[in-house]
Amino acid sequence: MTTYGGFSLLSSAVCMLLLCQGSLGQLPFGQGRQPRQQAERREWRLERLEAVEPSRRKITTCRKNPQMAAAGEFPLSWSNSFNSPDTTIEPRGLVLPYYSNAPRLVYVIQGRGIGGLVYPGCPFQPSQSREQGREQESRDQHQKIQRFREGDVIAIPAGVASWSYNDGDSPIVAVTVTDTRNFANQLDQRLRRFELAGSQQRRESYEGESAGGEASSAGNVFRGLDEEVIAEAFGINRETASKLQGLDDRRGNIVRRSYEQQEEEEEERKRRDTNGLEEALCNIKHRENIRKQASADLEGSPASTNSHYALHWNINAHSILYVTRGRARLQISENQGEEFRQRGAAGQIVVIPQNFVVTAQAGNEGFEWVSFKTEDNALVSPLVGKASVFRGIPANVIASSCRVSNEETKRIKYGRGEEFLVFRPRAQTGRSTA
């Protein structure tokens, strides 16, 4: 489940709860999750929460050898369940095909490009591509290619190979959240990338220079196989098999490449006859644009730079909040009244545990975020405004519980009218002296 929201300079904000209805059962982080041990549950303490930077991967170009830089790990000491890298792909950058041992959700912060997911047994579509510098065209068969853009959330199941390419003129920036404790991962809790080409770069800084001398390289899945075995399996010569192994490949897993590719149109795919396998697997919708949905809801909203994301809690899920733009003051409170206060800025991640009360106030430049939930049917319970928990409690119960007057009870229940989740700022009122 993914949430998108924003407090912008021209609107008060929005919070969307959607994504991947009808997708594979392994895609939602919470569904089928193995039970956590009691000791793990005790680790959710406010003093261990902090706004952190995700690990970053960036492709840069250095003459003919593009490099991919990766620095640091997602520093969540309380849990190794979620890995959240922040990736930048420069124009003409190609993310080489790979698969991982856990399902992933990718949110595209900016840019646009093309990519594909490859399922065994799904049909191929013919297409034509023209090699750079040549006039002749060649026909190719491949599985479906889809275009993605800013605001898209892409769900990628565990064990399914994927690739992507930036065919635009500006960088693609995306954040990926991977749940290594999902039931689809039957290995250990370590995130593993299985490269089908190229190599994995290690010990590199964000800017593309190695952190300690030469960057080391880990191989792809073919590097552990004998050359003659690969040649026999593919029906190729040993020289080509050696290229698949990439023993001397130091490019990393994002490279620079120029070519033209015609992506398939959804309408054309829908005209094909389908069978049971296609209906169940090959036609699954993996992509949803939540920013477009949010923009429609923002139209006509009153402008404010200090809007509030209402007090609420997540009933049945943790929330991984990634700040895409702007700043906000965040406050989180747990059951014993301890609180966490910090400013969240663009590029930072804050994990909000299940049932902990949270609110945010946008800064002068506004505030936009995307939240990844650990349940596919995540529920939010507002404390104020329309559909709030206090609206559902009888007035006399509130008055007796909170030791307030009948008039104060009405203000608690109805003071925000029909506002929902995102509120305009109001001038604070002092304590009553009556």
Q: What is the DSSP string of 164-218?
A: EE--SSS-EEEEEEEETTSTT--S-SS--EEESSS-EEESB-TTSSBSSSSPEEE
Averaged pLDDT for residues 189-210:
65
CATH of the domain at 417: 2.60.120.10
| 93, 66 Cβ separation under 8 angstroms | yes
431 in a structural domain: no
User: Can you give the pLDDT at residue 107?
Assistant: 93
Round to whole Å and give the CA distance between 381 and 396: 21
Full domain range(s) for residue 197: 15-291
pLDDT at 70 over 90: no
Residues 239 and 384 in one domain: no
Q: Is the dihedral of CA 233, 238, 243, 245 positive or negative?
A: positive
Q: pLDDT-based confidence at 405, cuts 50/70/90?
A: very high
Averaged pLDDT for residues 151-177:
93
4 in a structural domain: no
SS3 state at 274: coil
**How many other C-beta atoms lie within 10 A of the C-beta of residue 98?**
18
Round to whole Å and give the CA distance between 217 and 276: 42
Round to whole Å and give the CA distance between 325 and 251: 31
Tens of pLDDT, residues 317-375: 999 888 888 888 899 998 887 878 888 888 888 889 999 999 998 888 888 888 888 88
User: Can you give the pLDDT at residue 150?
Assistant: 93
10 in a structural domain: no
Residues 59 and 121 in one domain: yes
Main-chain phi, psi angles of 236, to 5 degrees: -125, 170
Residues 327 and 267 in one domain: no
Confidence (pTM): 0.71
Residues 128 and 156 in one domain: yes
Tens of pLDDT, residues 99-158: 999 999 999 999 999 999 998 888 776 665 555 555 455 677 888 888 999 999 999 999
User: Can you give the pLDDT at residue 208?
Assistant: 35
SS3 state at 1: coil
pLDDT at 400 over 70: yes
Residues 213 and 258 in one domain: yes
The residue behind tokens 């769900």 is 155
pLDDT at 20 over 60: no
Residues 227 and 324 in one domain: no
SS3 state at 84: coil
Residues 235 and 99 in one domain: yes
Picking from 93, 85, 133, 82, the residue whose alpha carbon sits closest to that of residue 115 is 93
pLDDT at 393 over 90: yes
Residues 182 and 264 in one domain: yes
pLDDT at 210 over 60: no
Contacts (Cβ under 8 Å, ≥6 apart) of 386 = 416, 417, 418, 419, 420
| 162, 97 Cβ separation under 8 angstroms | yes
Residues 258 and 393 in one domain: no
Which of 241, 266, 291 is a domain's end point?
A: 291
| 382, 393 Cβ separation under 8 angstroms | no
Position 97, amino acid: P
Residue 277: in which H helix or E strand, if any?
helix 276-277
The residue behind tokens 């039970």 is 35
389 in a structural domain: yes
301 in a structural domain: no
298 in a structural domain: no
User: Can you give the pLDDT at residue 139?
Assistant: 74
Residues 176 and 136 in one domain: yes
In the chain the first and final C-alpha atoms are separated, in Å, by 47
223 in a structural domain: yes
Which of 291, 326, 358 is a domain's end point?
A: 291
Residues 121 and 166 in one domain: yes
Tens of pLDDT, residues 294-318: 544 443 343 356 788 888 999 999 9
DSSP 130-141: E-TT---EEEEE
Contacts (Cβ under 8 Å, ≥6 apart) of 373 = 1, 2, 3, 17, 29, 30, 314, 317, 318, 319, 320
Picking from 360, 312, 364, 366, the residue whose alpha carbon sits closest to that of residue 340 is 360
| 402, 433 Cβ separation under 8 angstroms | no
215 in a structural domain: yes
In the chain, how many domains are there?
A: 2
Round to whole Å and give the CA distance between 428 and 408: 15
Which of 291, 320, 350 is a domain's end point?
A: 291
Residues 197 and 255 in one domain: yes
The average confidence (pLDDT) of the chain is 72
pLDDT at 241 over 90: yes
DSSP 14-30: EEEEE--TT--TTSSSS
